[in-house]
Structure 1
């Protein structure tokens, strides 16, 4: 696992619930459990600072790092999708983003495409992206923040074309590829759940082992944010591996959660404790 990506998982899963900041010494100890060296942690922290996800602050001779508003917003959005289990009902409407950004603004155009993909939009044509989920407000916020209003329009529509809605989905997303990724996730973590539940035989991890495994679990599950558009049940195949993966994630997460938190709390130190001294 790359240090920067793992830091996002640590901040999203733990730090944002514990005062929003953490001492660099705690970070290096936590990531050390994954075999990541202190120098690599500091490089990743510096990169996240430059990109505006976290901000540093000194208390005495100690450095603490907190999520910026931008960082908290992105991790809050991710959490809302990670911990929402089961497909939702669809209102039959498509939420569409149309944009035409000139070649001179190619970098900003590419960043908008990445944002749309992260939010779960699929590309119907080069400048027309759609989602069955009512999340245009998230795109609107991004467009406003990045000064793209002259180039972007929003639409809410019902499909009245020749293909059915599931065919439209197949044009916009590679469901076979997503399904295969879910199968790999299940193959990776099903044995861990079996061990915990006593079928292999029963395994009782210590607190650090639980912390490492739960963090890896969340880290791997978080990757589906970038490939799974969170489609409602009406648009999915009748048998969908994502449902099995969701149930596996929830059971294993809950089994590891108490011991994992104990380890984090033993290692964690935030700036509030430093100020009290």
Structure 2
């Protein structure tokens, strides 16, 4: 698996709850559990730093890394979507974004497309993207980020002509393919959940194994951020599997939580050592974990 992607997962699920800071040595130690060597970790960290996701600071001859404000915002947005347990309701309004970015700024156009897909927009027509979700704030941030206000038009609209909302959804998103992916996820992880829940209860699964399994669970589940637009329940098919996958994810995540956190804290080190109890307490206030109590 991609080292950079795994680092994002560990930052999002662990490090951001621990003062958003970690020693590179701890990160290398954690990534070794997944088969990543020191060289690949340092190369990925360097790339992420150049891309503006993380930042470095020194204490003596040691390097520590934290998410930049941009990185923290992306992690917060991802967490809000990953850890939701059911699809939102719809206000019966569509948001439509139309842009006309000149050819000499094609790189901005390409970046904007990636951001729109990640946010859950669907392509209705050339340079015309729609979503039923209230993403006004995200759109304004994208416009400011890429300085494209003069090239973008953003509307809130009602669909009146051309078909019904179901046909509009079918045109913009392949829900059948997404549902098949959810079915595969449920099939694989429901079996793992049953087997490993028993292993944890009888003590045959180590803390390290729980850490690897929980990180892999989040790593696999967060891939849906790039394919599932998070449509309101009114626009989803009757046999939608996304909510079932979310509940399975939440149950399995809780089961692995305590031993996984113990292992992480054994390897974790910042310039503020020894580790305070704050991080552990913050993790246990996680929406999925606190709802378990």
TM > 0.5 fold call: yes
Residue in structure 1 matched with residue 37 of structure 2 by the alignment: 37
Question: 1:202: how far off?
Answer: 6.6
Residue in structure 2 matched with residue 209 of structure 1 by the alignment: 209
Structure 2 vs 1, CA of residues 7 and 162 (structure 1 numbering), >3 Å: closer, same or farther? same
Structure 2 vs 1, CA of residues 165 and 204 (structure 1 numbering), >3 Å: closer, same or farther? farther
Counterparts of 2:97 and 2:117, CA distance in 1: 12
Counterparts of 1:208 and 1:91, CA distance in 2: 45
Counterparts of 1:3 and 1:159, CA distance in 2: 43
Question: 1:197: how far off?
Answer: 3.8
SS in 2 for 1:56: strand
Q: How does 1:11-26 map to 2 (within 5 A)?
A: 11-26=11-26
Q: Does 1:271 align with 2:263?
A: no
Counterparts of 2:197 and 2:64, CA distance in 1: 38
Structure 2 vs 1, CA of residues 161 and 268 (structure 1 numbering), >3 Å: closer, same or farther? same
Question: If the length of structure 2 is used for normalisation, what is the TM-score?
Answer: 0.90
Structure 1 residues not aligned, in runs of 5+:
none
Q: Deviation per CA, 1:234-258: give whole Å up to 9, x if none.
A: 1000011212211110110010011
Counterparts of 2:159 and 2:179, CA distance in 1: 25
Residue in structure 2 matched with residue 68 of structure 1 by the alignment: 68
Question: If the length of structure 1 is used for normalisation, what is the TM-score?
Answer: 0.95
Q: How does 1:1-277 map to 2 (within 5 A)?
A: 1-198=1-198, 204-273=204-273
Question: 1:204: how far off?
Answer: 4.4
Counterparts of 1:259 and 1:191, CA distance in 2: 20
Q: Deviation per CA, 1:207-259: give whole Å up to 9, x if none.
A: 11110000000001111111000011110000112122111101100100111
What RMSD in Å do the two structures reach over aligned CA positions?
1.8
Moved more, 202-211 or 47-56: 202-211
Aligned length in residues: 275
SS in 2 for 1:98: strand
